[in-house]
């Protein structure tokens, strides 16, 4: 019997018991048999929760709990999920199942779990009693900031049209706060909630229960909706690009970035309208950079050198605000920037020449070669990587780094894809913001 089947048999029910919301604290209660989980969010009093009845925020808090629970459910993959603190229609249950199913695609794949959409989970919940009523006036834009180049570009584009911006940072660290300050925004003006994982989950993982990737950007979406409404903002501007839609596994639809994809964005917007009300009464969630490729975002980012020594998007180095220079994410970002920056600038950012790292050949091949699975990191398309490598090759003279030489040998007659004026029309950028994207007004 597989570990998946064994755990499901031993632990048939996951329960979402309750949530507690106060002016500076939100705690959820989940359980699997005797194991109790209490994930928490804490936030500063300036968030604005005290300016309205807390009951008005409860439907949003409940939904954030629905996004959080999958991280706890996955350790045993209980066949039944029981909701005791809120109602869901059949349509809403199917919405959540779709998110979990697609968002756990990598988790199922890497744990060799064989199941189906119909069988992996049943959600039991009462019907909703009524539709919530939101009354707060809304203005300005909330921008989730993760410390990487993408949210930097969003901040700068919104600054260019003088849009009032509230940065949104989960578990603030040096890179995120530094990027906000470099954008000319006082960190005190940011919403900076602290999210804490219950240690019981970590203990179950250490004990051999299942672990793996979950759709964290759905947590970002629902938490931004909660804190954005509490702050009174009209828009939530994500920085997810067109490239986030690509599968990572040859011949299968397994997307490490599913909850950053256009499909999730479309579904999330529909869920918000149907469950909470029309945009304007609640913040409108969209990805400002969705029309662009990652290559275009990198091209825009290099216009802002004030961020070069501040930004950081390596998961392994996040706690110390450093680039580990030993992972696929570091290699990927280095390659993108190598299309536009010289070696001296790159070395100041990363502290090394990553294109000399032959120990990362396997990761390199996954980034550029058809037929190879992409590394399970937030990386763009192979066409973007090839284009960046070709550009890096063309404007370097003298010594050619080992991985750049490998690219030249693998693609001796490479004709790069033209991404100069790429614009993905499948986007939800509001009309008022299209003007800040080149060609946006003409290519809707």
pLDDT at 401 over 70: yes
Q: Look at the alpha carbons of 383, 384, 386, 391 in this order and tell me if their dihedral is positive or negative.
A: positive
> Within the chain, what is the greatest distance between any pair of CA atoms?
70
- Asked if the model's pLDDT at residue 48 lies above 70, the reply is no
Under the banding of pLDDT at 50, 70 and 90, the label for residue 51 is: low
> What 3-state class would DSSP assign to 283?
coil
Determine the Cα–Cα distance for residues 47 and 23; give it in Å rounded to an integer: 8
- Strands (DSSP E) contained in 101-164 are 122-124, 141-144
For 437, residues 6+ apart whose C-beta sits below 8 A from its C-beta are: 157, 288, 291, 292, 423, 429
How many whole angstroms separate alpha carbon 21 and alpha carbon 27? 7
- Local confidence band at 49 (pLDDT 50, 70, 90 cut-offs): low
In the 8-state DSSP scheme, what is residue 212? -
Task: Tell me what the mean pLDDT of segment 239-262 comes to.
Answer: 88
The rounded mean pLDDT for the chain is: 93
- Nearby residues of 393 by Cβ (< 8 Å), 6 or more positions away: 400, 404, 407, 408
pLDDT the model gives residue 444? 46
- Please tell me the least confidently modeled range out of 136-150, 263-277, 352-366, 404-418: 404-418
> Does residue 248 surpass a pLDDT of 70?
yes
Q: How far is CA 264 from the centre of its chain?
A: 11
Q: Which residues pair with 238 in a beta bridge?
A: 287
- Cα–Cα distance measured from residue 14 to residue 435, given in angstroms and rounded to the nearest whole number: 47
Helix (H, G, I), strand (E, B) or coil at 21: strand
Strand bridging mode 165-168 / 80-83: unpaired
Per-residue pLDDT, 135: 86
Per-residue pLDDT of 370-387, as tens digits, reads: 988 898 888 999 999 999
Supply the pTM of this predicted model: 0.95
As a whole number, mean pLDDT of residues 265-293 equals: 96
Quote the pLDDT of residue 50: 53
Q: According to the model, what pLDDT value does residue 46 have?
A: 53
pLDDT in tens, 188-234: 889 999 999 999 999 999 999 999 999 999 999 999 999 999 989 99
What is the model's pLDDT at position 439?
Answer: 63
Residue (of 424, 191, 110, 161) closest to 290 by Cα position: 424
Domain extents for the chain? Answer: 3-135+191-287, 314-410
pLDDT digits (tens, 9 = 90+) for 71-98: 999 999 999 999 999 999 999 999 999 9
Give pLDDT tens digits for 324-364: 999 999 999 999 999 999 999 999 999 999 999 999 999 99
For 283-307, how does the pLDDT look when each residue is reduced to its tens digit (9 = 90+)? 999 999 999 999 999 999 999 999 9
Q: d(Cα 137, Cα 321) in Å, to the nearest integer?
A: 37
């Amino acid at each position: 019997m597989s570990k998946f089947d064994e755990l499901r048999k031993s632990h048939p029910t996951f329960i979402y018991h309750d949530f507690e919301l106060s002016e500076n604290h939100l705690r959820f209660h989940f359980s699997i048999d005797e194991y109790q989980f209490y994930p928490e969010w804490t936030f500063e009093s300036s968030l604005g929760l005290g300016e309205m009845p807390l009951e008005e925020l409860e439907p949003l808090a409940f939904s954030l709990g629905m996004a959080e629970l999958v991280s706890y459910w996955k350790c045993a993959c209980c066949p039944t999920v029981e909701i005791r603190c809120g109602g869901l229609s059949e349509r809403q249950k199917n919405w959540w199942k779709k998110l979990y199913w697609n968002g756990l695609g990598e988790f199922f794949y890497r744990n060799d779990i064989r199941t189906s959409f119909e069988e992996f989970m049943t959600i039991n919940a009462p019907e909703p009693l009524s539709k919530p009523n939101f009354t707060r006036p809304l203005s300005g834009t909330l921008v989730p900031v993760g410390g990487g180049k993408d949210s930097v570009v969003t901040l700068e584009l919104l600054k260019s049209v003088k849009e009032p911006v509230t940065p949104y940072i989960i578990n603030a660290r040096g890179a995120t706060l530094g990027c906000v300050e470099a954008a000319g925004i006082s960190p005190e003006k940011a919403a900076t909630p602290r999210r804490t994982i219950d240690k019981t989950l970590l203990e179950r993982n250490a004990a051999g229960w299942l672990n793996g990737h979950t759709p964290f950007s759905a947590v970002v979406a629902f938490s931004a909706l909660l804190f954005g409404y509490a702050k009174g903002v009209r828009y939530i501007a994500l920085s997810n690009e067109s490239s986030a839609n690509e599968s990572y596994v040859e011949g299968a639809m397994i997307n490490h970035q599913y909850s950053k994809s256009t499909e999730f964005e479309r579904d999330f917007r529909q869920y918000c309208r149907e469950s909470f009300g029309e945009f304007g009464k609640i913040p409108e969630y969209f990805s400002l950079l969705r029309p662009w490729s990652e290559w275009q975002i990198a091209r825009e980012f290099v216009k802002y050198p004030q961020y070069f020594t501040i930004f950081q998007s390596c998961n392994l180095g996040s706690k110390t605000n450093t680039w580990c220079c030993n992972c696929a994410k570091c290699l990927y970002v280095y390659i993108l920037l190598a299309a536009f920056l010289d070696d001296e600038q790159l070395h100041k950012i990363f502290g090394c020449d990553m294109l000399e790292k032959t120990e990362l050949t396997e990761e390199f091949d996954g980034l550029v070669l058809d037929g190879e699975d992409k590394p399970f990191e937030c990386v763009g398309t192979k066409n973007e990587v090839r284009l960046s490598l070709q550009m890096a090759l063309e404007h370097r003279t003298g010594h050619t780094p080992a991985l750049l030489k490998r690219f030249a040998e693998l693609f001796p007659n490479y004709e790069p894809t033209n991404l100069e004026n790429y614009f993905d029309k499948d986007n939800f950028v509001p009309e008022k913001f299209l003007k800040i994207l080149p060609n946006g007004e003409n290519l809707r």
